[in-house]
Amino acid sequence: MDHGWTTGNRLRLLENGEEYFPRLIAALNAARSSVLLETFILAEDEVGRQLAEALAAAARRGVQVALTVDGFGTAELSADYMASLAQAGVAVRMFSPGHRLLGRRANLFRRLHRKLVAIDASIAFVGGINLSVDHLVQASPIAKQDYAVEVQGPAAQVIHTFMLEAIGAGTKRPQAMRWRRPAARESTVPDAGLPGAALLVTRDNQAHRNDIERHYLMAIRAARREIVIANAYFLPGYRLLQAICAAAQRGVDVQLILQGRPDMLWVKRTVDMLYAHLRESGVRIFEYCERPNHSKVAVVDDDWATVGSSNLDPLSLSLNLEANLVIRDVGFVATLKDNLRNLMSRSCTEVSAVEGGPGAWWHGIATPVIFHFLRKFPAWAGWLPAHTPRLVSPEMPAAADAPSTDMAVHNVQRDGP
Task: Assign 184 a pLDDT band (cuts: 50, 70, 90).
Answer: very low
Query: Can 120 be counted among the known catalytic residues?
Result: yes
Look at residue 264 in the predicted model and tell me its pLDDT: 63
168 SS3 class: helix
**pLDDT over 70 percentage in the chain:** 75
Q: Which residue has the higher pLDDT, 190 or 128?
A: 128
Look at residue 317 in the predicted model and tell me its pLDDT: 87
Query: Can 372 be counted among the known catalytic residues?
Result: no
Query: Can 296 be counted among the known catalytic residues?
Result: yes
Among the listed residues 215, 296, 303, 313, the single catalytic one is 296
Look at residue 309 in the predicted model and tell me its pLDDT: 98
Look at residue 393 in the predicted model and tell me its pLDDT: 80
Look at residue 56 in the predicted model and tell me its pLDDT: 98
Residue 354, pLDDT > 60, answer no
Among the listed residues 301, 302, 337, 363, the single catalytic one is 301
Of 17-21, 111-115, 234-238, minimum mean pLDDT range: 234-238
- How far is the C-alpha of 236 from the C-alpha of 67, rounded, in Å? 31
pTM (global) more than 0.75: yes
Q: What is the pLDDT of residues 376-411, one digit of tens each?
A: 666 666 666 655 667 888 765 443 444 444 433 334
Other beta carbons within 10 angstroms of residue 262's beta carbon come to 18
Among the listed residues 3, 113, 135, 160, the single catalytic one is 113
Among the listed residues 2, 3, 70, 115, the single catalytic one is 115
Among left, alpha and beta (phi > 0; psi -120 to 50; other), residue 323 is: beta
Look at residue 332 in the predicted model and tell me its pLDDT: 97
Domains in the chain with CATH codes: 10-175+387-411 (3.30.870.10), 198-381 (3.30.870.10)
Q: Give the list of residues 6+ apart from residue 313 with CB closer than 8 angstroms, or none.
A: 233, 234, 235, 236, 267
Among the listed residues 2, 294, 303, 329, the single catalytic one is 294
Look at residue 379 in the predicted model and tell me its pLDDT: 63
Look at residue 112 in the predicted model and tell me its pLDDT: 92
Mean pLDDT of 35-41: 97
Look at residue 356 in the predicted model and tell me its pLDDT: 43
- How far is the C-alpha of 256 from the C-alpha of 287, rounded, in Å? 8
Look at residue 111 in the predicted model and tell me its pLDDT: 87
Query: Can 337 be counted among the known catalytic residues?
Result: no
Q: Which residue has the higher pLDDT, 113 or 108?
A: 113
Contact 192, 303 (CB under 8 A): yes
Q: What is the pLDDT of residues 49-75, one digit of tens each?
A: 999 999 999 999 999 999 999 988 897
Q: Which residue has the higher pLDDT, 413 or 350?
A: 350
Look at residue 401 in the predicted model and tell me its pLDDT: 46
Residue 334, pLDDT > 70, answer yes
Contact 62, 407 (CB under 8 A): no
Mean pLDDT of 92-109: 62
Look at residue 33 in the predicted model and tell me its pLDDT: 98
Task: Assign 108 a pLDDT band (cuts: 50, 70, 90).
Answer: low
Residue 349, pLDDT > 80, answer yes
Of 189-193, 251-255, 301-305, minimum mean pLDDT range: 189-193
Task: Assign 176 a pLDDT band (cuts: 50, 70, 90).
Answer: very low
Of 4-13, 59-68, 156-165, 229-238, minimum mean pLDDT range: 229-238
Among the listed residues 70, 120, 303, 313, the single catalytic one is 120
Burial of 124 (0-12, 13-18, 19+ CB in 10 A): buried
Q: Give me the helices (H) in 78-153, please.
A: 79-88
Query: Can 115 be counted among the known catalytic residues?
Result: yes
Among residues 6, 16, 2, 20, the alpha carbon closest in space to that of 121 is found at: 6
Q: Burial code of 138-149, b = ≥16 C-beta within 10 A, e = fewer?
A: ebeeebbbbbbb
Of 67-81, 103-117, 136-150, 165-179, minimum mean pLDDT range: 165-179
Q: Which residue has the higher pLDDT, 394 or 174?
A: 394
Q: Give the list of residues 6+ apart from residue 103 with CB closer than 8 angstroms, or none.
A: none
Other beta carbons within 10 angstroms of residue 95's beta carbon come to 27
- How far is the C-alpha of 376 from the C-alpha of 370, rounded, in Å? 10
Look at residue 319 in the predicted model and tell me its pLDDT: 85
Task: Assign 341 a pLDDT band (cuts: 50, 70, 90).
Answer: very high
Query: Can 113 be counted among the known catalytic residues?
Result: yes
- How far is the C-alpha of 101 from the C-alpha of 368, rounded, in Å? 34
Contact 251, 283 (CB under 8 A): no
Residue type, 15: E
